[in-house]
Amino acid sequence: MLLTPMRYKTYTWPHNPRTCTLTRERQTVVRKVPFGGFCVQDLGTTARVLQGEGEFTGSGAYDEFRALAAVFAQSGAGLLSHPVAGTWSAWFVSLELSEEPLPDYVRYTFTFREDGIAAAGLTVLKTSADTAASSAAAASSAAYHTVRRGDTLWGIARTYGVTLAELIALNPQIKNPNLIYPGERARVQ
């Protein structure tokens, strides 16, 4: 089975990391009740945490690691797409060079943590000045794509030369980036 490459913000891995571990826990509280019983209360799930390890090899190994480190240096959460874990908003919380570097080999470890605001369905509000300025600019240059059978947001983004994160930001009506329907209109500009 051919897996799609892992992506975060503007960075696409040239090959998927060697190992990835996705952790998600359910928080519970056990309370004693009178006469020796107990009650378990479900407090919900915690944020997803994706940890992994990979390597870059060949003459461009250091350049590839520098590109990944540059994305790590960017502030804010971004869209993480993993071929098995799916697509979700996450923070790039750690990047570590895990051995003595060799001329053509770099081994690294990483950690992503799910963005709690996006996971709860909340959005960060902009000021009215920001909203008015962006609405006026957007109205003058908006372009749309009508979804056809077999379309994916990745494919639409590639066709119109935008990143997946930009396409998702332009289309807040699409709640699940992995689920679009024929006939839907997706804003692409």
Q: What three-state secondary structure class fits 50?
A: strand
- CA–CA gap between residue 68 and residue 12 (Å, rounded): 9
Helices (H) and strands (E) in the chain, counts: 5, 11
Sorted by where each begins, the domain ranges of the chain are: 7-119, 128-187
Nearest CA to 89 among 185, 179, 176, 171? 176
pLDDT digits (tens, 9 = 90+) for 77-100: 999 998 888 888 999 999 998 777
Architecture of domain 7-119: Beta Barrel (2.40)
Task: Locate the DSSP E strands across 46-85.
Answer: 49-57, 78-82
**pLDDT at res. 122:** 46
Biggest alpha carbon distance in the chain? 70
pLDDT of residue 42: 84
- Per-residue pLDDT of the chain (189 residues), as tens digits, is 567 889 999 999 998 899 999 998 888 888 888 887 888 888 888 888 999 999 999 988 889 999 999 999 998 899 999 888 888 899 999 999 877 768 889 999 999 999 876 555 544 445 555 555 555 554 556 788 888 888 888 888 888 888 888 888 898 888 888 888 888 989 988
Return the pLDDT at 102: 82
**Tokens 């699940």, located at residue:** 176
According to CATH, the superfamily of the domain at 128-187 is: LysM domain (3.10.350.10)
How many Cβ atoms are within 10 Å of 5's Cβ, its own excluded?
A: 13
Angle at alpha carbon of residue 45, lines to 123 and 20, rounded to 5°: 90
**What was the pLDDT predicted at 134?**
54
